[in-house]
A and B are shown apart, each in its own frame.
Chain A
Amino acid sequence: KQEVTQIPAALSVPEGENLVLNCSFTDSAIYNLQWFRQDPGKGLTSLLLIQSSQREQTSGRLNASLDKSSGRSTLYIAASQPGDSATYLCAVTGGSYIPTFGRGTSLIVHP
C-alpha cells in the first residue's frame, strides 16, 4: 500500500528565505504527484501537478521536482512571504486512481 511522508512536519522561517519541502512515497508506480496548499478553515488549492513522465513544474515562486525512481518530490519556495503561511500537502495517484496524501508540512513565515 502506498505511503506518503512529508518532512518536516512544521517549519517556521523569517520572510525572504528560500524553502524546501520534502515528500517521499513508497510505491514508484504513480501516474502523478500533486502539491496542494491548505489554509485554515478552507479547502485545498492545487499548486502544481507533475505527471509521472515529467521531472519538474514551475509556477511563479514555486518549483516542484519529481524523482520517481527514488520516490521523492521537493517543493521549492523562493523568497518566502508571510502570505505563504499555510499547510502544504503532497498527494500521489497510482493505478487505483485513489490519491494518497501525506500529512502535510505546516509553514509559518514571519515578517
Chain B
Amino acid sequence: EAQVTQNPRYLITVTGKKLTVTCSQNMNHEYMSWYRQDPGLGLRQIYYSMNVEVTDKGDVPEGYKVSRKEKRNFPLILESPSPNQTSLYFCASSPRLAGAPGETQYFGPGTRLLVL
C-alpha cells in the first residue's frame, strides 16, 4: 500500500531534550516536506527536500533540522525542543515539487508533540 508513515504518533518530552520524528514513504517520491499545524494558524511548511541531499527552508524553519540521506526517509530533528514547538506535525511527499503540473502531496497521519 502506498503510504507515508510517521513515528512516533504521539510524543511528550521536556524542554531541551533532543528528539527525532521519522518519516518514510514507499512511493519513490523525490519531494518530501514537513509541516506543523497550530490552531488559528493553519498548516505551515517547516522544511522541504527536492531530492537526496537537497533540503531547503520553508516558512518556519527556526528550531528544526532535517536530513535527506535516503530517498524514502526524511527525519525531522528538534535539537533543543521548547514549549512553542508543541504542535501537530505532518510529513508529506509528492513525485515532484508541489506546484509542478499535476502534482499532489500525500500526507502522513501526523505526530502530536507536547513539549513541557
Q: Please judge, given known A-B contacts A43-B4, A93-B99, whether A34 and B42 are in contact too, CB under 8 Å.
A: no
Q: Could you mark each residue 73-111 of chain A with 1 if its beta carbon is under 8 Å from any beta carbon of chain B, else 0?
A: 000000000000000010101100111011110000000
Interface bracket on B: 20 to 34
Counting CB contacts under 8 A, is B74 at the interface? no
Q: Are B97 and A103 in contact (CB under 8 A)?
A: no
Q: Please judge, given known A-B contacts A42-B110, A44-B107, whether A102 and B42 are in contact too, CB under 8 Å.
A: yes
Q: Are A98 and B107 in contact (CB under 8 A)?
A: no
A42 to B42, CA, bound (A): 15
Q: Are B104 and A103 in contact (CB under 8 A)?
A: no
Counting CB contacts under 8 A, is B109 at the interface? yes
Q: Are A93 and B90 in contact (CB under 8 A)?
A: no
Residues of A within 8 A of B44 (CB): 101
Residues of B within 8 A of A103 (CB): 40-42
Interface bracket on A: 20 to 34
Q: Are B90 and A43 in contact (CB under 8 A)?
A: yes
Residues of A within 8 A of B90 (CB): 43-44
A102 to B108, CA, bound (A): 19
Q: Are A104 and B42 in contact (CB under 8 A)?
A: yes
Counting CB contacts under 8 A, is B43 at the interface? yes
Q: Are B42 and A101 in contact (CB under 8 A)?
A: yes
Binding site for B on A (CB under 8 A): 4, 31-32, 34, 36, 41-46, 49, 51, 89, 91, 93-94, 97-99, 101-104
Binding site for A on B (CB under 8 A): 4, 40-45, 48, 58-59, 90, 92, 97-110
Minimum-distance CB pairs A-B, first 10: A43-B107, A31-B99, A93-B99, A101-B43, A44-B107, A103-B42, A46-B104, A101-B42, A43-B109, A49-B104
